[in-house]
Amino acid sequence: MFLHGTSKKNDAGHLEIGGVDTVTLAKEFGTPLYIYDVALIRERARSFKQAFENMGVKAQVAYASKAFSSIAMFQLINEEGLSLDVVSGGELFTAITSGFPASRIHLHGNNKSRAELKMALDHEVGCIVVDNFYEIELIDELSKEYSRKVPILLRVTPGVEAHTHDYITTGQEDSKFGFGLLNGQIEQAMKTVLDSEGIHLLGIHCHIGSQIFDTAGFVLAAERVFEKINAWKEEFSYIPEVVNLGGGFGIRYTKEDEPLPATYYVEQIVEAVKKQVDDMGITMPEIWIEPGRSLVGDAGTTLYTVGSKKTVPNIREYVAIDGGMSDNIRPALYQAKYEAVLANRVTENHDKTVSIAGKCCESGDMLIWDLPLPEVQAKDLLAVFCTGAYGYSMANNYNRIPRPAVVFVENGEAQLVIKRESYEDLIMNDLPLKSKVSQG
């Protein structure tokens, strides 16, 4: 088992996170429960910022909030001085409500509605990351209503697709996001934007994928973008103030994963950019990045209570927990792998092999196959590690299972930051059938 952040085995033989015993957390808040190690989030945030400072580069580190968003989370990100990416009116509303400074919010999305754009302009967000020609038209039109210039980045698809262990240079840009970098679309978009009275083109954005363990894809994408920037210098006399190279830095879910330290990604990316900038003889633009998973992924742990078991003779033992694909859809969606321990007996030998089943009515609702655990009994507590990203944010009410609560732990204290949904919450928007008009 790998313990990370502040998690450790305590004298009671229990798993402890942030100085708080998880057995106590289960008693106090119930299960399933998402537990966030706040110190670890702070450490990750600081190391990204520090890496840029060490290299003397002006930067913004924007938390890609789709990984996990809530009022308290946004307040924590604000405390650490990071910026924030939002991709919908709902995420923007949460950010504004949390008191997050709008000037450090960036609005993303491949189909922003007029209402969402208006909301962003009402609050004067720091920039809008523009994805397509329709959006340019909308923003140009809205800028007249607001009588001020709208700061934007143009998102490009660089023809580099990064996957966990390698990257593919597609050379073409088959993606629903952004303007093709290599097929003339971006130049067309730039012409329109540079001619618009109401739009201020801050710079260029690209994002090549997720859970990436290698810097080569980032470096290649940066090189492609800067080759273009060199050409645009001649063609449009335009030099971007900002180049945003996205997120996607990989984390360790299981011992097979070998992520690089955050600082290493930043160093490699910045080195590549510096080289290009020197060759071109232009001023270094601000470099922005957008880590999501790598800020919160391994800081999250989900605590479940064990219930039923089923043994299929000579094949396997299924152990069922009180959650599943309703609170963690990643195994069902992308065969994501996790590690877990028995939180209430963490010091015992984990030398039996079982498979962890969720409680949803889907055979595919399996959280972990072939997990080493001690002999498990009902009421044991299972702690699944690294569920902090795309866990709660993708949670759903399949089978009308209420979404779990979320607690932050730090320095021996636990704080409830999202309440557990109740059955009443589940039917809150349901309306009864209209009664039939009586006959006669």
Catalytically active residues, by annotation: 361
Q: CB-wise, 83 or 302, nearer to ligand PLP? A: 83
Token pair in block for residue 161: 């697709």
Of the candidates 154, 240, 153, 148, the residue with the CA atom closest to the CA atom of residue 198? 148
Q: For 409, left (φ over 0), alpha (ψ -120 to 50), or beta?
A: beta
Q: CB-wise, 29 or 218, nearer to ligand PLP? A: 218
SS3 call for 135:
helix
d(CA 74, CA 92): 11
* Piece of 8-16, 194-202, 284-292, 313-321 that binds ligand PLP (CB under 6 A): 284-292
Q: Is position 290 an interface residue for ligand PLP (rule: CB under 6 A)?
A: yes
Q: How many Cβ atoms sit within 10 Å of the Cβ of residue 430? A: 6
Size of the site for ligand PLP (CB under 6 A): 16
Q: CB-wise, 249 or 385, nearer to ligand PLP? A: 249
Closest separation in Å from C-beta 210 to ligand PLP: 3
Residues between 367 and 396 with contacts to ligand PLP, criterion CB under 6 A: 389
Q: Is position 292 an interface residue for ligand PLP (rule: CB under 6 A)?
A: yes
Main-chain phi, psi angles of 253, to 5 degrees: -90, -40
* Piece of 36-44, 191-199, 241-249, 304-312 that binds ligand PLP (CB under 6 A): 241-249
Q: CB-wise, 64 or 329, nearer to ligand PLP? A: 64
d(CA 373, CA 26): 19
With CB under 6 A as the contact rule, the residue among 44, 49, 207, 359 that binds ligand PLP is 207
d(CA 89, CA 95): 10
Q: Is position 193 an interface residue for ligand PLP (rule: CB under 6 A)?
A: no
Main-chain phi, psi angles of 237, to 5 degrees: 50, 40
Q: Is position 246 an interface residue for ligand PLP (rule: CB under 6 A)?
A: yes
Q: What string marks each residue from 63 to 102 as x (binds ligand PLP by CB under 6 A) or -?
A: -x-xx-----------------------------------
Closest separation in Å from C-beta 209 to ligand PLP: 8
Closest separation in Å from C-beta 4 to ligand PLP: 18
SS3 call for 96:
helix
Spell out where 284-435 has E strands. 286-289, 300-312, 316-321, 340-342, 352-357, 366-373, 381-385, 405-410, 413-418
Q: Is position 298 an interface residue for ligand PLP (rule: CB under 6 A)?
A: no
* Burial class of residue 42 in the structure, from the number of CB atoms within 10 Å of its CB (0-12 exposed, 13-18 middle, 19+ buried): middle
CB 37 within 8 A of CB 7: yes
Q: CB-wise, 262 or 277, nearer to ligand PLP? A: 262
* Piece of 69-77, 166-174, 287-295, 303-311 that binds ligand PLP (CB under 6 A): 287-295
Q: Is position 210 an interface residue for ligand PLP (rule: CB under 6 A)?
A: yes
Does the bond joining 261 to the residue before it have cis omega, within 30 degrees of 0?
no
With CB under 6 A as the contact rule, the residue among 291, 323, 358, 391 that binds ligand PLP is 291
Q: CB-wise, 247 or 402, nearer to ligand PLP? A: 247
d(CA 209, CA 163): 7
d(CA 63, CA 319): 36
For ligand PLP, the binding residues (CB under 6 A) are 64, 66-67, 108, 207, 210, 246-249, 290-294, 389
